[in-house]
Amino acid sequence: MTQYAIATDLNKCIGCLACSVGCKILNDVPIGSFWNKTLRIGPHPRTKGGQWPDIYTYFLTVSCQHCDDPECTKVCPTGASAKQENGTIQIDKNKCIGCQFCVMACPYGVRYLNVEERIVEKCTLCEHMISQGLLPQCVSQCSARARWFGDIEKGIMTFEAPGCDLNDKSYEAMVRKRYVLKDMIGEGCDSPVKPFDEKTEVHHLPNVGNGPNFLYILRGEQWQGGKE
């Protein structure tokens, strides 16, 4: 089984919006709509009543989570929204009737109606790029290299395009579903992987039975993304 997903290191993200902007440009997302939103979380005090500089802020990117058991596909009357063999959720524009049942069913509010085309749109995980062995735009455009893409069922995620150079030392992480692995080797690479430290915590957006697959890594701060 394959399940493509993205892992985001929230300690590295600087909130530059390159992922959001790059996504809108590549996918021609209408003004006022987003496939990938960048939210500022905080500032929050680290201790009760804490004041500057005893505060923290991080940036949280929210898009379609390409869930294990997506609610959006269950309510679609035409089968336009469906889970693919690579684990992504795609919308068949030829079947979509713009009823927006899926928009209402999504727990993350990441779908919208394209009023001009009268069809629902959302993040495709840049299917037209990953099918060619390329990275999603939000990953390749990340200036802080805070985002990784890969198959979480195989435990392989990277910010480099598949098929790395054997002399490349830039692979930083391998992530298996809900766990961070240590002391492993990158797929197609003999370069050792730089492990996360013992303070690493992996989170998901709230799970309401749908099984969100995107991973969020946060060290040393309190997760504010809701109950998982």
> For position 153, what pLDDT does the model report?
79
Per-domain residue ranges for the chain? 4-219
Q: Which two tokens stand for residue 159?
A: 């910010």
User: Is the pLDDT confidence value at 50 over 90?
Assistant: no
**What is the average pLDDT score of the chain?**
82
pLDDT value of position 158: 65
pLDDT at residue 160, rounded to an integer: 56
**For position 88, what pLDDT does the model report?**
97
Q: What's this model's pTM, rounded to 2 decimal places?
A: 0.82
Confidence (pLDDT) at 144 = 86
E strands, the chain, are 4-9, 36-45, 55-63, 81-83, 89-91, 112-114, 119-121, 147-151, 156-158, 175-176, 179-180, 200-203, 215-219
Q: Where are the alpha helices (DSSP H) in 14-126?
A: 18-27, 71-75, 101-105
> Which pLDDT tens digit goes with each residue over 130-174?
998 888 999 989 988 888 888 887 766 666 544 444 344 443 443
CATH 3.90.280.10 fits 4-219, yes or no: no
pLDDT band at 53 (very low <50, low <70, confident <90, very high): confident
Task: Work out the pLDDT band at 201, boundaries 50, 70, 90.
Answer: confident
Query: What percent of the chain clears pLDDT 70, i.e. is strictly above it?
Result: 79
Name all contacts of 75-80 with Cβ < 8 Å and 24+ positions apart: 75/101, 75/102, 75/104, 75/105, 76/101, 76/102, 77/101, 80/120
